[in-house]
A and B are shown apart, each in its own frame.
Chain A
Amino acid sequence: MLQDYGYIALFLLVTLAFVSFIILIPIILRFFRIVPKRPNPIKNTAFECGMKTIGRSWVQFNFRYYFYALMLIALDVMVVFLYPWAVEVGRLGVYGFIAVLVFILIIIVGYIFALKKKVLEWK
Chain B
Amino acid sequence: MQTSVTSFNPTFAFNTLPPDWPGNFWLHWLVFTIILIAFIIVSVIMFIWFERRLIGRFQIRLGPNRVGPFGLFQAIADVIKILTKEDIVPQKADKVVFWLAPLVALVPVLMVFAVVPLQSGAMLVDLNIGILYVVALSSIVSIGIFMAGWGSNNKYSIIGAMRDVAQLISYEIPLVLSIVGVVLLTGSLSLTEIVGAQNIPFILLQPIGFFVFFIGSLAEINRCPFDLVEAESEIIAGYNIEFSGSKFATFFLAEYSEAVLLSALTATLFLGGWSGPLLPPILWLLIKMFAVFAIIIWIRSTLPRFRIDQMMAFAWKFLLPLALINLLLTSLQIVFWPEASSWIIVLLSFAILVALILVWSKSFKPGGNKVGI
- On A, residues with C-beta under 8 Å from B are 3-4, 6-8, 10-12, 14-16, 18-20, 22-27, 29-30, 34-39, 41, 43-49, 56-58, 61, 63-65, 68-69, 71-72, 75-76, 79, 82-83, 86-90, 93-94, 97, 100-101, 104, 108, 111, 115, 118, 120-123
Contacts and interface: CB of A to CB of B under 8 A. Distances in A.
B180 A83 contact: yes
Contact of B173 (A76, A118, A122): A76
Contact of A16 (B103, B158, B187, B331): B103
Contacts of A93: 335
A49 B165 CA distance: 24
Nearest to A115: B317
Q: How large is the interface on B (under 10, 10 to 19, 20 to 34, 35 or more residues)?
A: 35 or more
A12 B107 contact: yes
A6 to B, nearest CB: 7
7 contacts: A39-B88, A46-B155, A56-B92, A65-B165, A83-B180, A87-B188, A97-B331
A4 B28 CA distance: 12
B154 A46 contact: yes
Contacts of B84: 29, 34-35
Given A8-B125, A15-B111, A120-B316, A83 B187 contact: no
Nearest to B184: A86
A122 to B, nearest CB: 3
Main secondary structure of the interface of A (DSSP, over half): helix
A15 B285 CA distance: 23
B370 A23 contact: no
B11 interface: no
Interface string B100-133: 0011001100110010000000001111100010
